[in-house]
Amino acid sequence: MNTVVVYTSKYGSTEKYAQWIAEALGCKAKKLSELSSKSLSAFDTIIYGGGIYAGAIAGFKKFLSKLGSNDNKTLALYIVGLTDPQKQDAYTEIADKNIPPEWKNRFKVFAFRGDQRFSRMSTMHKLMMRVPKSMAEKKPPEQRTEDDRMFIENFGKDVLLSDKGFILPLVDYIKSAE
């Protein structure tokens, strides 16, 4: 199969995962901005990756517009966020809000944990990060989740949370679809 990993990355985690996936599958990783609708049509298997920003998957709408209605493609989506990937409910909710109804059954969705690169964040993203921090701090300590505690403790810091092991289920899925 002719496979490509397409991604939109703002601070590097999604790109890092794209490179790891491409290496594992023996294919190329390409930025979404480098691809046209025509170039995407040449691939049988397309994996898209984007980080979560204010509940939206970075670049995903643009990706869908470039993808068109390629009914015969194997499609996978990986979402990169700070929440533990074992907490599938959080990622399922994000996917449900971002994948239009006509595409829901087309994508196999995977969740990966990204790095928190506070030193690289734009002023806007730093300000946006204050909202969940404030919400976590307002909870009584005994009601805080592990993610809440980690978020409060690591706010303003660079924390490397990405893990190559997260890609294994996606790689296995793609290999089994070939």
CB 133 within 8 Å of CB 151:
yes
Question: Which among 175, 121, 169 is positioned nearest to 17, based on CA atoms?
Answer: 169
Q: What is the pTM of this model?
A: 0.84
Q: What is the pLDDT of residues 60-80, one digit of tens each?
A: 999 999 987 766 789 999 999
- Lowest-confidence pick of 76-80, 112-116, 124-128, 163-167: 124-128
CA distance 45 to 135: 40
Q: What is the pLDDT of residues 128-154, one digit of tens each?
A: 778 878 888 899 989 988 778 877 887
In this prediction, residue 70 carries a pLDDT of 65
Secondary structure (H, E, C), the chain: CCEEEEEECCCCHHHHHHHHHHHHHCCEEEEHHHCCHHHHCCCCEEEEEEEEECCEECCHHHHHHHHCCCCCCEEEEEEEECCCCCCHHHHHHHHHHHCCHHHCCCEEEEEEECCEEHHHCCHHHHHHHHHHHHHHHHCCHHHCCHHHHHHHHHCCCEECCCCHHHHHHHHHHHHHHC
Q: What angle do CA 26, 31, 32 make, to 5 degrees?
A: 115
Indicate the CATH number for domain 3-115+160-177.
3.40.50.360
Domain ranges of the chain: 3-115+160-177, 118-158
- With bands split at pLDDT 50, 70 and 90, how would you rate the model's confidence at 54? confident
